[in-house]
Amino acid sequence: MAIQRTLSIIKPDATKRDVTGKINQMLETSGLRIVAQKRIKLSQDQAEGFYSVHKERPFYNDLVNFMMSGPVIVQVLEGENAVKLNRDVMGATNPEEADKGTIRAEVGLSIEANSVHGSDSEENAINEISFFFEDEEICP
Ligand code: ADP
Ligand code: MG
């Protein structure tokens, strides 16, 4: 399996509770390197655009508002099989169903406030990374 990159977001529930270091320690310990990172407040356009695949879902408006409710950290992770590895370290969408030791099980609060986002395919990872980062902002 080749070296991949994936987009990670630390969500507002986690920046609010000052657990960004704990989350990134879990990511780094798993073998993922943070090769780009910024702390930003999402605009309405960014939050709606980023989650546009979910716009028909009943939770879409709440999700957009949640993602704008505080700062987020957007970051690019790099490593062997990074897309799946990040999803494995994150755990299931619902923290109540996430395996013990995963970020969502240890840090997540609810199915919405589940602390982290991770790209779900290599193709989406490429698109999501370019949503937030220019090539020259990525420093492996
Ligand atoms: P994942 O983040 O695990 O890829 P999805 O892509 O299905 O999950 O959903 C995107 C985000 O929308 C989730 O991480 C979560 O914040 C929110 N979400 C998903 N399902 C629900 C739900 N049933 N109710 C409220 N929010 C949800
Ligand atoms: Mg998803």
Angle, to 10 degrees, between the axis of helix 82-90 and the axis of helix 122-132? 80
Q: What is the pLDDT of residue 53?
A: 97
- Is the C-beta atom of 5 inside 6 A of ligand 1? no
pLDDT of residue 33: 98
Residues near ligand 2 ion, CB 5 Å cutoff: 120
Write out the chain's pLDDT in tens, 140 residues. Answer: 799 999 999 999 999 999 999 999 999 999 999 999 999 999 999 999 999 999 999 999 999 999 999 999 999 999 999 999 999 999 999 999 999 999 999 999 999 999 999 999 999 999 999 999 999 999 99
CB count within 10 Å of CB 101 equals 10
pTM of the model as a whole: 0.98
DSSP 3-state of 37? strand
Rounded CA-CA distance 52/78 in Å is 25
